[in-house]
Amino acid sequence: MQQQSKRYESLPDKLSLHVGDEMQLLDRARISSEQTEIILAPVELHRRNIQRRLREAELPRERFRFIDAVDMSEDLLDTRGISTKSIDRIDRLSLIRRLLDESMSSLTVSLPVGISTRDSQHIEQIRAEVETITNYHPERLTAWSATVEELSEPIDADTEELLELALDIERGLRAQTGKVVTDGDCIRSATWELSRTDGEVWLETYSDIERVSLFGLSTISATYADFLNAVASTTSTEVHIHFREATGPYLKDRLPALFDISEPGTEVFQ
């Protein structure tokens, strides 16, 4: 299949989208051994596959820094002295159970039909999916509510209740701990620092990085999209997103809409 890449006029000038083209890395590794590129691969297996191909081609891996968006976010927040201590999923489920046991009367919405107050894993899944889709950005949440109004009963009420439940649980989690609630929370905080400082925190942290390349995506969350949007919009660093062959065309068409927000990293909770 022919490899494709395209730059969209509606996206930041420093952002390029690709379907395939992963082995452009080999060409760049041959040109220079200086570590000026970050390779983001959310899935560890895909990261190892890229490293294996470099070894097989007898090219230095030192040309690239292999990390994920959480690592990058922690680096950026550490630069500004912002705590990145986080809770894990088990602690999060425990806090959700405590919220439901102690504070159910304070929640502003009732649980949708079929969701038990004891089913903390299901409630955490709802919270995580809302975070993935909206990244808690006010403009996306407004769009969610506007779309709900076009749905038929009772789907419209249930969908709005799921959104409100996720927001209430997120607020409750933050109120119970002084730590980062999720990996997405960490990435979102770093995204906001990039937007707020107009990229200054990037220069303080990654002044030698010329390119960030994201590989191995079969889908892309609003959280990742906002982070890369902030990097591409506020810094001189090139951002390249490489989609997989099967889902790449669909994701390339979807990405401009994900990027069409103001001030990435903004939260409704602010």
Q: pTM (2 decimals)?
A: 0.87
Structure tokens at 164: 């409100």
Beta sheet of 238-243, edge-to-edge order: 4-6, 15-19, 238-243, 211-217, 37-40, 64-67
- Identify the CA nearest to 226 among candidates 57, 69, 49, 29: 69
178: number of Cβ within 10 Å: 9
Domains of the chain: 4-82+209-259 (3.40.50), 89-179 (no CATH)
152: number of Cβ within 10 Å: 6
The CA-based dihedral angle spanning residues 226, 228, 234, 239, taken in that order and rounded to the nearest 10 degrees: -160
Per-residue pLDDT of the chain (270 residues; tens, 9 = 90+): 334 444 445 688 899 888 877 677 777 777 766 788 998 887 777 778 888 888 887 777 777 888 889 999 999 999 999 999 999 999 999 998 888 876 554 554 456 666 766 788 989 999 999 999 999 999 999 998 887 766 556 556 678 888 988 998 999 899 888 899 999 999 999 999 999 999 999 999 999 999 999 987 778 899 999 999 999 999 999 999 988 877 788 888 888 888 999 999 999 997
99 contacts 173 by C-beta, under 8 angstroms = yes
Peptide bond into 154 cis (omega under 30): yes
